[in-house]
Amino acid sequence: MISGDCKQARDLPLLLSSVGWNWTRGCGHGIWIGTDREGTRWMVKPRGSLNAARERAFAIVAQSLGISCQSSTFVELSSGCPPYRSERCSSQVHSAILFLDEHPHCACGPDCPIEALRAEFNKAPVVETLRASSVLGAEDWARGEMLGSLCDMHEPPGTLFTADHRFVQIDNELMFSSHADADLWQLHWLATDTGVDLAVKLCQQVLDLPDAVFDEALKFPQGVEVAWDLCAELDRVRLRARTFLEQVQ
């Protein structure tokens, strides 16, 4: 997704080459913004192919469920580019995320829906607050974190609001941890019946996903090895969804 465009992860090339890109440092430690030859901006996190694989796999599943989530793919960094040199990379394949134009961290006007959502959320961090908001995709804040629990997230994902007042879930590279023991029931979103109902619906949607979605999530560039049984982790997503539905019943 870039400047209001909604490209999904499955629509991106599986592997990009950074040859000919222009680079600037991004906000945050070890984050770079690369502009390719077509003028598209990418946020690059030089943290290896494992994190890149987890980031992309989550995006494939989340976007198949209609969750507003950042789109990512793999990038091969040229050995002479600034991120590769500055971060002292031990490998060349990393995560490339389509750059998003973020909303300012203050109200853009007297009727800014993001400021209104933040104010209401501070008082009542529940699904009902999201549904009452005019921020596009606000309910995906809850749905994305619920999916994160099914994907055994090591820590909660991040939230980003775009310049056109749209919610997007970010920072999904620590999903599929296998040892995080994330518990859907522990999320504050399930504090109300509305939240539980939303979790039930999400789990049902996960179980209805075709195998092709999970097959796509497991695609890696040729020659890239991921030292992680991501296939087993993805299988557990549906198992956790099924277990949650059994507990509700």
Last residue of a domain, one of 98, 122, 150: 98
Shared-domain flag, residues 25 and 53: yes
Tell me the CATH number at 22.
3.30.200
Shared-domain flag, residues 81 and 123: no
Shared-domain flag, residues 71 and 152: no
- Whether residue 134 lies inside any domain: the answer is yes
- Whether residue 106 lies inside any domain: the answer is no
Last residue of a domain, one of 98, 131, 149: 98
From first to last of its 249 residues, the chain has per-residue pLDDT tens of: 333 356 899 999 999 999 999 999 988 788 999 999 999 999 998 988 999 999 999 999 999 999 999 999 999 999 889 998 887 877 899 999 999 999 988 889 889 999 999 999 999 999 999 999 999 999 999 999 999 999 999 989 999 999 999 999 999 999 998 788 899 999 999 999 999 999 999 999 999 999 999 999 999 998 887 767 888 999 999 999 999 999 998
Judge residue 58's burial from the number of C-beta atoms within 10 Å of its C-beta, 0-12 exposed, 13-18 middle, 19 or more buried: buried
Range of 18's domain? 9-98
Measured torsion, CA atoms of residues 10, 184, 47, 220, in degrees rounded to the nearest 10: -30
Strand pairing class (72-76; 93-98): antiparallel
Cβ atoms of residues 127 and 192 within 8 Å:
yes
Q: What is the pTM of this model?
A: 0.94
- Whether residue 191 lies inside any domain: the answer is yes
Shared-domain flag, residues 94 and 69: yes
Shared-domain flag, residues 65 and 39: yes
